[in-house]
Structure 1
């Protein structure tokens, strides 16, 4: 269910101040706790949930829970922190720190020097190494999802807005339009059923570096792949870009994922950036997390059982010659219209 201004969650611990944004999969709210501290709460979009049948709703919830648990392990100074999690009126909620700062998309002037741009790219690259080590893919890296926060007198980049449960598209029987960011989304994220890996985030971070150094959004991957449009070398727009940085950007933005660096650390090395040692993952103890894990296990068993029954029935039909009808296929699912809002 959607909440309004003034609604209280988790027994009054959090009070809704306003809705920050609504995407196809999730809704985010700005909330305040009893001490007046502000946080962001992210939950699944109830319009999407209402469009699904019971089994699909539980599968989506399970995927959201599984990825939320992974995200809670991603403790890094350049990643927005997950500070709490709970369930309210059958709605799963993640509580994250509120970073009320400008993003790299808001920079004026829009072009950075190479050392400044590479400093932010190194910070986000280090954050994504931790994300990938926890078997997550961000899926939506672009300047608008990188905020600048001042710490000890220095500006540092902070990665926000993880695409939790976006792989739900891959289990549906009909195509759904993915949430994409033109110019920054790699081609494989436009295709249903594609398995994403670190190379997808590498493409997006390279496109972000392209924008920081040129002030221009690179041509969209689909236009390159389908219409044959050419990706202009960033050095053609900015002669101050060094040759090895220019080549590293172009290599990371290859349309074929196999031709890109396969790990974030490898790509950062090609830029000549030294990566700090990854911080160890830390699991935040919570009774709620235990309940979530039990939910994941329960629905995993249910889904596996349904699949096994389907396989058994299809086998029986093959052995009984006088059964002429085949098992009915699953009905097509109707996809809700995507929303363009992008929020933390």
Structure 2
């Protein structure tokens, strides 16, 4: 290793240090330090066309100080260069942009400059929501996930995968009542390839880059198989599950079909049938069975009906606006980062949106009047022909209650009969094996019934809380044959 390179290691950054190719970045403070390198807050002063000075804050990501050899340094530099090459030409309002990359002459350290994002992570934002332990309202999550999905689809159309979508890599910026999410940290992103990399090629694995974050990784990422945009879709579905449910089950170490079953066995009270169906499909172990895009997945999960595939209202800033109808609520979602500025377009757009509830109200009122008129006309006809009105066909409250009780009783009897028939098919101790990702899991059947638990009073060393007592199981269940630690 050269003496100049060794001496460069003595160069330390501190507040006020000038950094970069032209010493045009001034260090403000260190944000974090880790195995992937140092992250500093810096600022750059520029002179505008009118002669005025403008200062902008940026994030400076520095290559870690290698304690090994030049080969390790070269590999790490390749990772940084690769990250920059992937994102340097991306322009999207929900993606944190990269400005430049290079090597500082004095410290001989490689760096990458990205925009400075003011806000909090999706993880922190979710924890600040009321009653977040029991899940966040779909109405709050819809505009957020539509924007994230749009950003991911934009990446995929440009041949890039993020490969580490998780709440910590989504920054929430802007107003608290209408936050704008930003995808950050493209440190392990990659090009979409139809086939696995040939031997010797530069890949995430041989660059020493971790393959993602558990439990957001799909099977193909865990197994280092070929990946595409549907890999990010799997991670996005896991993030949506976590936000809607409030937490992950502890059993998320399972993968494949067993993971999907665990997620919705006893942790499904916060999900509609539509959400379960969409999330299960996005979490399918086979990428071929997932949605064609992240936006399609989000639309399906939130039961979103697009009024127009994308209404393009180009205003003075050149920003189109997407309008989506979710059940009975209309949500306006800005899909480019510039806000609407042209008052005429705002008035037209507002009139279009506000007209929907008015039309819906008038339609419902007209139908109500028509039904009343039809009913009254029929009553008058019966009265004139028979001398009395036809008996009202509407059920009384007592009749409705009796009918509901009868239906509930019939349903309970049907379920009891089905459960009894099912339980008779299996005997205590029956063994069944399920296979998940090539691993066999053996289960034993525990039937419904009553039995005694605890220790008899004559047993030596018996504790007071071990008294014998009767336990009744109302339904049988499968129990894992061996303990899992």
Aligned twin of 1:170: 205
Residues 25 and 45 of structure 1 are in contact (CA less than 8 Å); yes or no, is this contact kept in structure 2?
yes
Aligned twin of 1:299: none
Structure with the higher fraction of residues in strand conformation: 2
From 98, 113, 121, give the equivalent of 2:137. Answer: 113
Residues 70 and 134 of structure 1 are in contact (CA less than 8 Å); yes or no, is this contact kept in structure 2?
no
Mapping of 1:281-300 within 5 angstroms? none
**How far apart in 2 are the matches of 1:218 and 1:64?**
35
Instruction: Give 1:214 deviation, angstroms.
Output: 0.7
Q: Does 1:80 align with 2:99?
A: no
RMSD across aligned positions (CA): 3.5
**How far apart in 1 are the matches of 2:77 and 2:267?**
45
Aligned twin of 1:65: 81
Q: 1:128 to 1:17 in 2, by over 3 A?
A: same
From 94, 114, 117, give the equivalent of 1:99. Answer: 117
Q: 1:27 to 1:134 in 2, by over 3 A?
A: farther
Residues 21 and 27 of structure 1 are in contact (CA less than 8 Å); yes or no, is this contact kept in structure 2?
yes
Aligned twin of 2:243: 212
Instruction: Give 1:91 deviation, angstroms.
Output: 3.6
Residues 41 and 60 of structure 2 are in contact (CA less than 8 Å); yes or no, is this contact kept in structure 1?
yes
**How far apart in 1 are the matches of 2:245 and 2:212?**
21
SS of equivalent to 2:255: helix
| Larger gyration radius, structure 1 or structure 2 | 2
SS of equivalent to 1:217: coil
**How far apart in 2 are the matches of 1:72 and 1:220?**
39
- Pick which of 148-157 and 96-105 moved more: 148-157
User: Of the two structures, which has the highest relative contact order with CA contacts closer than 8 Å and spacing of 6 or more?
Assistant: 1
Aligned twin of 2:221: 189
Aligned twin of 2:42: 31
Mapping of 1:216-295 within 5 angstroms? 216-217=247-248, 223-225=253-255, 231-233=261-263, 237=267, 239-271=269-301, 272-273=303-304, 274=306
Aligned twin of 1:135: 159
Aligned twin of 1:335: none
Instruction: Give 1:23 deviation, angstroms.
Output: 4.6
Aligned twin of 1:294: none
**How far apart in 2 are the matches of 1:277 and 1:4?**
49
Instruction: Give 1:227 deviation, angstroms.
Output: 12
Aligned twin of 2:24: 13
Q: Number of matched residues?
A: 272
Per-residue CA deviations over 1:280-329 (Å, capped at 9, x if unaligned) read xxxxxxxxxxxxxxxxxxxxxxxxxxxxxxxxxxxxxxxxxxxxxxxxxx
Residues 252 and 261 of structure 1 are in contact (CA less than 8 Å); yes or no, is this contact kept in structure 2?
yes
**How far apart in 1 are the matches of 2:74 and 2:187?**
18
SS of equivalent to 2:94: coil
**How far apart in 2 are the matches of 1:200 and 1:134?**
15
